[in-house]
Amino acid sequence: MVISSSNNYSKDNFNVAKIGSAKKIRFKNFTHNGQIQIYKSSYRGSYSSIIRDCLRNAALGRKVLLVQFMKGGVKQGITNPVKLCGNLTWIRSSHSFDQYNPEEFENNKDLKKSIHASTFELWDFCKKELISGENEQIILDEIFLAIEMKIIDKDDLISTLENRSISGDVILTGTGIPKDLLLMANQVTELRS
């Protein structure tokens, strides 16, 4: 189960901690940006529980964005998102390599370029959403495959996550996860068959 945190803390909220009997330390709570959760699996298509939980969160009134980077075939793209439960925006790439066999994808440079452009357009949209603070939960499904395929730059993802402004959680899924992203996660869950 995925639980979305929606606590916001004021930047002016100070707490006092007592150390020993005479010393006091003042420290400041910074704006809470939710957690970074990573779900990894040894095979693709194992994240139905995450999709179920994002539907539940949307039904409970949270604004949720679900982005599937490597799924396609429904000609969505950022201009044609699917809206569910009034609060869930579900977007797939307008042109995905899942629509083709691997040989066709590798041997056709125009096709490969079109798929890369569509996936990068989706990532550019996601960056704006992560910074805007409009959503309470964002799921970036199979983003690690997009990094592995060199469509999305790993350092760009890290920088965007560090500068995010979302009250809830960001959930990342995939198979091969770079170590520096594992280290910045608050929670890592391995799904097994």
Residue-wise pLDDT for 147-162, tens only, equals 988 889 999 999 999 9
State how beta strands 137-141 and 64-68 pair. parallel
Residue 1 covered by a domain:
no
Residue 102 lies in a domain: yes
Q: What is the pLDDT of residues 9-19, one digit of tens each?
A: 333 333 444 44
In a domain? residue 38: yes
Specify the number of domains making up the chain. Answer: 1
Q: What is the pLDDT of residue 75?
A: 67
Q: What is the mean pLDDT of the chain?
A: 79
pLDDT of residue 66: 94
Of 24 and 29, the structure prediction assigns the larger pLDDT to: 24
Q: How confident is the model at residue 169 (pLDDT cuts 50, 70, 90)?
A: very high
pLDDT at residue 2 in the model = 37
**Domain encompassing residue 57:** 33-191
Domain-embedded: residue 13:
no
pLDDT for res 185: 92
The CATH number that applies at residue 171 is: 3.40.50.300
Q: Which residue has the higher pLDDT, 13 or 102?
A: 102
Is the residue at 17 inside a domain? no
Position 46 in a domain: yes
Is residue 166 domain-resident? yes
Instruction: Identify the pLDDT of residue 46.
Output: 60
- Say what the pTM is: 0.77
∠ CA 68-91-47, nearest 5°, is 35
Q: Supply the pLDDT for residue 19.
A: 44
